Structure 1
Amino acid sequence: MTTRRITLLTLALMAVGAVGGWLASVAHLPLPWLLGSLAVTALLQPLPPIDRALGPYRYPMTLRSFFVALIGVMIGSQVTPELLGLVAALPWTLAGLFVFVLLAHGGNFVIFRQFGGYDRPTAFYSGTPGGLMESILMGEEAGADTRILTAQQFLRIIIVVTLLPLGLSLWLGRPVGSASGLAGDVAATSIAPPQLVLILCTAAIGLWLGRRLRLPAAQLTGPLVLASAASLTGSLDLHLPYWLIALAQLAIGVSLGIRFRGLDLALLRRSFGLSLVSVGFMMALGAGFAAALTAVTDLPFLHLLVSYAPGGVAEMSVVALSLAASPALVSLHHILRILLTVVEMGVLARLLRISPPPRPSPPG
């Protein structure tokens, strides 16, 4: 396939994905540009005309890696001196978060491995209690089934941000939270050209460093580490504008959606059932930690429950506002949950030797 044809198909898919992202944002879904573009791309490509037009097309990996690097910069920009200042004030809840991540991941691995019958890489990365993009990227490198992995990770987010506010609303007798999220809560509203260049350079340099240092999911963790170090100095503002975050989510969503060829309804039904079991386990585990920590801190049970819920940062912050809880408190726990998950994934994957499933031997 020629470079010109690959470029035209990529632009066409991005345009179609943008329609899906816009519809998802209008519907107030979580991660709209990622979820919407993925859904539209995955649903349309099995149609015979689309399938014939795509042929052997693959999304350009260089382009995808750069957009992933921008997501790494976005996450790293949240690690600020103010955020670290909260860490010292909450030793018990943050120590508990570390144990929660380990127990949740271990329990989920058993659920997906024993009940789902997934291979080890797919079960391991499907079971992470956070870091949707990080889990997909690292799982992809380890040989996990990206269709199943992506479905499980998205279902985790969707189930939590849908059922937790509903459950709390029924418990408290009043509306709580929203699945709409805070679209631009962590994004800059405007950006000067020099700052945009700085962000793009940080992504590119972090991508290069991550690969040179052979970091796990280098295209994500390299920029994340570099942006974290820059943000902690307080001298650089690396907050991405919302349009750039949406564009990065759009590109990643399309690149994932194009891989959903052959996904059937039976697989989706099984993934949904397993996600209900997994989320139920994690919420029960989080409730146990919240109850124990309420006894040793002055923090209310519901505030801690939301802090330990394995949902999205923005969505859980909305729920926190409805409960008159501190969004900073909730955001701190969820950002650290993602960072702990990234570190824990890399360390455990090496210790447990999580690797691609063996290929079948050729006949004869």
Structure 2
Amino acid sequence: MGSILTTLVLLALACAAAFGAQAASMPLPFMIGPLIASGIVATTVSDRLPDGYRFPPMLRLVFISVIGLMIGAQVTPELFGQASRFAVSFTALTLFVIVAHAYGYSVLRFIGGYDRPTAFYGAAPGGLFESIALGEEAGADPARLTLQQFLRIIAVVTLLPIGLSLWVGHPVGSSAGVTLGRGDVPWSAFPLIACAGAAGLGLGHVLRLPAKQLTGPLSVAALLSLTGIYHVDVPQWLINVAQIVVGTALGMRFAGLSGGLVLRGVGLTVLCVGGMMGLAIVFALALMQVLEQPFDVLLISFAPGGVTEMSLVALSLSANPAFVTLHHIFRILITVVGLGVSSKLVRRRL
């Protein structure tokens, strides 16, 4: 009973933090607000929680599947209809992922002193949930891995929209009220949403997909959309709830990290993200003439941030959101495939 009450209190605190972050016009407020609040609880008062308390893993799994459905629903026939035109940019993006990952690994391994699994998965320039799930399976330190991956996301989705907002003269991204969700989804659609999520979890388990709790539902939603059978429209309030739950669960993984380790993680993130963004700028400048796309569109497409926020930034700027979304989905797929292959090779070697 104590664990249930603790979970309810944590979620109440997370909700307050989410709406506070929204009022402060923070990017991804329903994810970052709860993450910060629960992270503070985990690092400062974890000794006051019930003995052996863990945030319910099943609750986290269910709502991660909701996020997977939302991302997969963005994979429309119109989006993939443009894919054949982007051979050059996809090749460049593949090279970007390889170089950015190698650079990040070097920073975390040789400057940060992290062990190899934590440095490798913590440096992945995409696939937040996949990196965390695969890294835990490979023996990475879950607290430091979660810290580095979320600091990467926070840095990019905070600093890039702020920089672009100053450049264009108005807010962009989720802080501008742009959303990928819908507010007019009827209640009759919820059984179909639940079935798609359950089918995705089952598919991920049967096919042993990497980070199956996310990639399974993502694959089902994308398949339904591409075939025209059904388009999974996830209401915005459900996306918000999912972000609150997942943000709270991940923040609680910071238990055991001291303030010094968090500050050290921030410093390493500055080095990692600074180098990755510098690399993204180089790629964007090099491809402007070849792809006939504006610099800001290419920069958003190569930035190692979350697909949701980067797509929202593109929508805010009317900056070819289909182009941006397709490139971020491709970046995540390349990263996840690379991590999955690496995990299998490591297991075989061990």
**TM-score, with normalisation over the residues of structure 2?**
0.90
User: Which residue does the alignment assign to 1:82?
Assistant: 78
Which residue is 1:161 aligned to?
Answer: 157
Counterpart mapping for 1:134-149 below 5 A: 134-149=130-145
TM-score, scaled relative to structure 1: 0.87
CA deviations on 1:296-321 (whole Å, 9 max, x unpaired) are 23223333122211123344345546
Match of 1:39 among 36, 39, 42: 36
Contact 1:120–1:354 under 8 Å retained in 2: no
1:176/1:88 CA distance change after superposition, 3 Å: farther
The structural deviation recorded for 1:331 is 2.3
Q: For structure 2, which runs of at least 5 residues remain unmatched after alignment?
A: none
SS of 1:211's equivalent? helix
> Are 1:230 and 2:230 counterparts?
no
The gaps in structure 1 that reach 5 residues or longer are 357-364
1:107 lines up with 2:106 in the alignment: no
Counterparts in 2 of 1:236 and 1:158: CA distance versus 1, 3 Å: same
Other-structure match for 1:247: 241
CA RMSD, aligned part only? 2.5
Is the CA contact 1:142–1:354 (under 8 Å) kept in the aligned structure 2?
no
Q: CA deviation at 1:90?
A: 2.2
Which stretch of the first structure deviates more once superposed, 178-187 or 18-27?
178-187
Moved beyond 6 Å, runs of 4+: none
Partner of 2:302: 308
Q: CA deviation at 1:328?
A: 2.4
- Aligned partner letter, 2:218: L
Report if aligned partners of 2:124, 2:131 keep a CA contact under 8 Å in 1.
yes
Secondary structure in 1 aligned to 2:254?
A: coil
Displacement of 1:262 in angstroms is 2.2
The 1:132/1:236 distance shift into structure 2, 3 A limit, reads same
Note if 1:7 corresponds to 2:1. no
Cα 1:132–1:183 shift into 2, 3 Å: farther
Give the Å deviation of 1:198.
Answer: 0.9
Does 2:324 align with 1:330? yes
- In our comparison, the structure showing a higher alpha carbon Rg is 1
- CA separation of 1:120 and 1:355: change in aligned 2, threshold 3 A: farther
Distance 1:58 1:319, change over 3 A: closer
Report Cα offsets for 1:135-186 as digits up to 9, x if no partner.
222222322222222221222222223333455577x5x5365464465621
Q: Which amino acid aligns with 2:135?
A: G
In structure 1, C-alpha distance between the alignment counterparts of 2:62 and 2:340, rounded to whole Å: 21
Correspondences of 1:114-133 after superposition (within 5 Å): 114-133=110-129
Structure 2 residue aligned with 1:273? 267
Q: Alignment length, in residue pairs?
A: 350
Contact 1:28 1:179 (C-alpha < 8 Å) held by counterparts = no
Structure 1 residues 260-269 or 134-143, which shifts more?
134-143
1:29 pairs with 2:17: no
Contact residue 166 and residue 176 of structure 1 kept, 8 A: no
Q: Percent identity?
A: 48
Query: Residues of 2 paired with 1:322 and 1:6: CA distance?
Result: 41
